Homo-oligomer: A and B are copies of this chain.
Amino acid sequence: MAGIRDVARLAGVSTATVTRALRDEPSVAPKTKERVRAAALRLDYVPSAAARALSQGHSTLLGLFVPDIVNPFYAEVAQGMEDRAAEARFHCVIASSHLNRERERQLLTSLQDGTLAGLAATTVGTDEAFTQALSAMPGPLVLVDRRPRGLKAPLVRTDNRKVTREAIRGLFEMGHTRIAMISGPQDFDTACQRLSGFRMAHRDAGVRVTEQLVRHGHLGETGGHQAMTELLAMDPRPTAVFCFNNLVTVGALKAIREAGLAIPADISLLAFDDMSLFPLVDPPITAIAQPAYEMGRAAAEILLRQLAGETGIDDRVLPATLIPRASLGPPR
């Protein structure tokens, strides 16, 4: 493996000149640059990332912390982040924790030991220790999707409240009056915002929210399934249900099927977060799609700007879109 010295020797210059030439600094004479480039090429010279990181004080690695990379929402965030990072010749380290504490700790250590130049995190509100450690961390930080209480860092998110309010309004316009919501933990700000939109739509429609129809604290397929089962056991049943994320939707859908009910005839189903197969499900699921890919890009962008020295960066709010399909219909 050729080093910078070999290149310097072959080109007949000093190592300092090699560095400058290869970075295309204007202070180097064109002829010199040419010679250095030729030498580097001939020796297959690739500068050592470790040496560079050590010398410059930071790496070109961005970290992305997500609960579950298999969840397509996060996968798309990852793809967006990675694409944007690659444009700046940065790489992404994706850590998918499954809420694994040990893994969280490892990631934080990596931020401290300089493996990572910056971190984008989708944190779970419950984990106070992690949150606190995060805020004490050196280096750029950006939050994606949600902000744990007390964490001061730019956030990339969707306008949850607005889009939910509009979507639920559509339900009222169809004639629904008993609309249920399967919401997440109350310390998820996303859940709160979506719930808030849900309530506002009720106010808009002059309908009081039936609190028993709002189920808090549900997560994942299991949570969605359980909440839906409970909702279906009520009398009278809700005529529509709004699920606060993709996995919860899947669980709810299964529960509805098991109960032998028809969508949307017996009950309408509205999902937050789209999935690629939702159009093929029976029936195709109407969903509020978040611009996950763009959110990932925006996160990388913000990290890069922070690394460039910019401070006081604002939150970035991206629009979500209602994608009408067949799971919404007027109540019987």
Which residues of A are interface residues toward B (Cβ below 8 A)? 1, 46-51, 53-54, 59-61, 68-70, 72, 75-76, 78-79, 82, 86, 89, 91-96, 102-103, 106, 109-110, 112-115, 138, 250, 253-254, 257, 275-278, 280-283
With A49-B53, A282-B282 known, 16 other A-B pairs at CB within 8 A are A48-B113, A49-B115, A50-B115, A51-B54, A69-B79, A70-B72, A72-B75, A89-B106, A91-B93, A91-B95, A91-B110, A91-B115, A94-B94, A250-B276, A275-B277, A281-B281
- Is B93 a contact of A93 with CB atoms below 8 Å? yes
Question: Hey, which chain B residues are within 8 Å of A275, CB to CB?
Answer: 277
CB distance from A4 to the nearest CB of B (A): 12
Question: Hey, which chain B residues are within 8 Å of A1, CB to CB?
Answer: 138
- Is A49 a contact of B110 with CB atoms below 8 Å? yes
CB distance from A22 to the nearest CB of B (A): 12
Question: Hey, which chain B residues are within 8 Å of A257, CB to CB?
Answer: 280
Between A and B, 25 residue pairs with Cβ closer than 8 Å are A46-B112, A49-B113, A49-B114, A50-B50, A50-B54, A53-B53, A68-B79, A69-B78, A69-B82, A70-B75, A75-B75, A82-B94, A86-B95, A86-B102, A91-B93, A92-B93, A92-B94, A94-B94, A250-B276, A250-B280, A257-B280, A277-B277, A280-B282, A281-B281, A282-B283
Closest to A48 in B: B114
Question: Hey, which chain B residues are within 8 Å of A103, CB to CB?
Answer: 86
- Is B113 a contact of A47 with CB atoms below 8 Å? yes
- Is A96 a contact of B82 with CB atoms below 8 Å? yes
- Is B46 a contact of A109 with CB atoms below 8 Å? yes
Question: Hey, which chain B residues are within 8 Å of A254, CB to CB?
Answer: 280
- Is B96 a contact of A79 with CB atoms below 8 Å? yes
Assembled-state Cα–Cα distance A89/B113 (Å): 13
Closest to A62 in B: B93
Assembled-state Cα–Cα distance A92/B97 (Å): 13
- Is B95 a contact of A82 with CB atoms below 8 Å? yes
Question: Hey, which chain B residues are within 8 Å of A82, CB to CB?
Answer: 69, 94-96
Question: Hey, which chain B residues are within 8 Å of A250, CB to CB?
Answer: 276-277, 280
Closest to A284 in B: B282
Closest to A107 in B: B91
CB distance from A144 to the nearest CB of B (A): 16
Question: Hey, which chain B residues are within 8 Å of A79, CB to CB?
Answer: 68-70, 96
Instruction: Knowing A53-B50, A69-B78, A114-B48 are in contact, say whether A106-B86 is a contact too (CB < 8 A).
Output: yes
Question: Hey, which chain B residues are within 8 Å of A93, CB to CB?
Answer: 61, 91-94
Question: Hey, which chain B residues are within 8 Å of A283, CB to CB?
Answer: 282
